[in-house]
C-alpha cells in the first residue's frame, strides 16, 4: 500500500518506519528542511531504541522516503496519516493549527479518493474539522479516520510493531477495509483491532492517558502520606498491585509524570469538559497535584541541607523517563529552576539528554559526560530519572566525591537500609 505520513516527530517517524518494515511504500513529509535532510542521511533527530536500524534498512531498500514536499507525498498515497504536533495553547487546550494546515494541504493535493487518518492526539471532534478543512479545497471523495497512538517513549518501536491493541475510528466500510489490511501484519498474534466510531476513538486516547496520569498521581500521594504515617510505599505497592483488579503497572512513585502526552492530554481533556459545561474535577486535581510533586525533591534537599544558596547540587537524570532524550514537562526542569532561583549551583548528567539540556539552560548549569564527575565537591546528589546505569551505586566513590553524603532519590532506586549502612543521609519517596 502507498502510505504518506505528515510529520516526522516521535509518532510520525516511528509509524512511517514501521509501516515500511511491513512492506508498504512510505513517504514521510515534513516542512522542516534541516530535519528531512538529516533523515535522508540516516541521522535520527530523537533517541528511540530500535528506530535508527528501521530507518536505515527501509531507506536503503527504497520503501521509506523523506521529503519536504507535503503535497507530492499526499498525491502519491492511498492512505495519509496526519502526525504533526498539537502543542498546548495558553488555556491548556490543544492547538490544532498544524493539523488543520495539513488538512488544507491534503485537500489541495487530492488527486484521487484517499483515506485521511488523524494520528496526532487531538480533541474529540477534530476529525470532523479535518473533514471540513479538506472538503473546502476539493470535490474528490475521501474518507476520514481516527487512529490514536499508544506509543511509550523509550519503547515506541516495540509498541508499534507488537501493539496490545489498535484503536481505529472509521466513517465507512472502505476506510475499515483499508486500515484492517494495513494493520493486520502487526496483530497476527491475536491482539485486537478495535473498530469504532470516530468520536469514541478520539475519546479513547484521552481517557487512557488521563487514567494513567491519575494512577501515577494517586500513587505519589500514597507515597507522600506513607512518609508521614511511617509506612513503606514499596510494601504498599506490592500489596495493592497483587490485587488483580489493580495490577502492578504504573504504581511506582516518583517526581511526577512528564513528557509529551500525559500533561498535555490531561489539560486538554479538562478544557474539553469546560467547553461542554462539565467540570472534570478529578483531572483538575491530578494536574495540580502532579505539578506539586515535581517540587518534592527540592523540599527534601532543604530538609537535608538547610538553605540552598551557595550549595552545589548534582543531578542524575534530565529526561522525563529513561530510554528517551525528551525533556518536555520533565521534573528536572522544575527542580533545576527552583535550585537556581534559590542561589544553588547545579551540575547535571544524563546519558541522552545533555544536548537538550544545553539548549534549555545554556551556561546556567554545568554539564558532565560521566555521571560521577557530577558529584565532585557537590553538597548533594538528586536522582530524577531511572536510567539503568544509575541503579547500582558505587557507595565509596559517591561518598568520597560528595562534600556531604546527601542523596535525594526521587526514583527509589536504592535500598534505604544499605544507604544508611554506607553513611549516607538518604531521602526517597514514601519510604522510611
Residue bearing cell 475519546:
203
The Cα 92–Cα 114 span in angstroms is 33
Q: Which three cell numbers stand for residue 373?
A: 564527575
* 230-to-17, 36, 233, 410 alpha-carbon distances in Å: 50, 54, 10, 18
Residue bearing cell 536503503:
60
Half-sphere exposure of 361 (CA within 13 A, CB side): 26
**Residue 203: Cβ within 10 Å count:** 20
Burial class (CB in 10 A: 0-12, 13-18, 19+), 343: exposed
Residues contacting 252, CB < 8 A, separation 6+: 219, 237, 411, 412
Residue bearing cell 472534570:
280
Residues contacting 421, CB < 8 A, separation 6+: none
Beta bridge partners of 2: 25
What is the DSSP code string of 206-265? Answer: HHHHHHHHHHHHHHHHHHHHHHHHT--HHHHHHHHHTSTTT-STT----S---SSSHHHH
Q: b/e per residue, 378-400, with b = 16+ CB within 10 A?
A: bbbbbbbbbbeebeebebeebbe
φ/ψ (deg, to 5) at 94: -75, 135
Among the listed residues 116, 261, 315, 346, the single catalytic one is: 261
Q: Is residue 28 annotated as a catalytic residue, yes or no?
A: no
Catalytic positions are: 261
Amino acid at each position: 500500500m502507498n502510505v504518506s505520513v505528515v510529520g516526522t516527530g516521535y509518532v510520525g517517524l516511528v509509524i512511517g518506519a514501521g509501516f515500511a518494515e511491513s512492506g508498504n511504500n512510505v513517504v514521510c513529509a515534513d516542512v522542516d528542511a534541516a530535519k528531512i535532510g538529516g533523515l535522508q542521511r540516516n541521522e535520527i533527530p530523537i533517541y528511540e531504541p530500535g528506530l535508527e536500524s528501521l530507518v536505515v534498512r527501509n531507506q536503503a531498500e527504497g520503501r521509506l522516503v523523506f521529503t519536504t514536499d507535503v503535497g507530492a507525498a499526499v498525491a502519491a498515497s492511498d492512505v495519509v496519516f496526519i502526525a504533526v504536533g498539537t502543542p498546548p495553547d495558553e488555556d491548556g487546550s490543544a492547538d490544532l493549527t498544524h493539523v488543520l494546515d495539513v488538512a488544507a494541504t491534503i485537500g489541495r493535493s487530492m488527486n484521487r479518493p484517499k483515506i485521511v487518518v488523524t494520528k496526532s492526539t487531538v480533541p474529540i471532534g477534530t476529525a470532523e474539522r479535518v473533514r471540513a478543512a479538506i472538503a473546502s479545497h476539493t470535490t474528490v471523495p475521501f474518507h476520514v479516520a481516527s487512529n490514536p497512538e499508544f506509543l511509550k517513549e523509550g519503547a515506541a518501536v516495540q509498541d508499534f510493531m507488537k501493539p496490545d491493541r489498535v484503536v481505529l475510528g472509521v466513517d465507512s466500510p472502505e476506510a475499515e477495509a483499508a486500515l484492517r489490511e494495513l494493520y493486520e501484519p502487526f496483530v497476527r498474534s491475536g491482539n485486537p483491532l478495535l473498530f469504532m466510531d470516530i468520536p469514541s476513538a478520539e475519546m479513547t486516547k484521552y481517557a487512557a492517558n488521563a487514567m494513567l496520569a491519575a494512577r501515577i498521581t494517586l500513587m505519589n500521594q500514597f507515597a507522600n502520606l506513607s512518609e508521614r504515617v511511617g509506612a513503606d510505599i514499596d510494601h504498599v505497592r506490592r500489596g495493592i498491585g497483587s490485587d488483580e483488579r489493580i495490577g502492578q503497572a504504573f504504581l511506582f512513585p516518583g517526581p511526577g509524570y512528564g513528557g509529551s502526552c500525559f500533561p498535555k492530554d490531561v489539560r486538554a481533556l479538562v478544557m474539553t469538559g469546560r467547553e461542554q459545561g462539565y467540570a472534570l474535577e478529578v483531572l483538575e486535581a491530578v494536574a495540580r497535584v502532579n505539578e506539586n510533586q515535581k517540587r518534592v525533591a527540592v523540599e527534601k534537599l532543604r530538609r537535608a541541607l538547610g538553605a540552598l544558596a551557595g550549595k552545589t547540587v548534582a543531578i542524575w537524570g534530565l529526561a522525563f523517563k529513561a530510554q528517551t532524550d525528551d525533556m518536555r514537562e520533565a521534573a528536572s526542569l522544575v527542580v533545576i529552576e527552583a535550585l537556581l532561583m534559590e542561589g544553588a549551583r547545579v551540575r547535571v548528567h544524563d546519558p541522552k539528554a545533555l544536548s537538550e539540556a544545553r539548549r534549555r539552560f545554556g551556561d546556567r548549569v554545568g554539564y558532565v559526560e560521566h555521571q560521577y564527575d557530577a558529584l565532585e565537591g557537590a553538597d548533594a546528589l538528586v536522582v530524577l530519572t531511572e536510567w539503568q546505569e544509575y541503579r547500582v551505586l558505587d557507595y565509596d566513590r559517591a561518598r568520597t566525591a560528595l562534600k556531604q553524603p546527601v542523596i535525594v532519590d526521587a526514583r527509589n532506586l536504592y535500598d534505604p537500609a544499605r544507604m544508611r549502612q554506607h553513611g549516607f543521609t538518604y531521602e526517597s519517596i514514601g519510604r522510611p
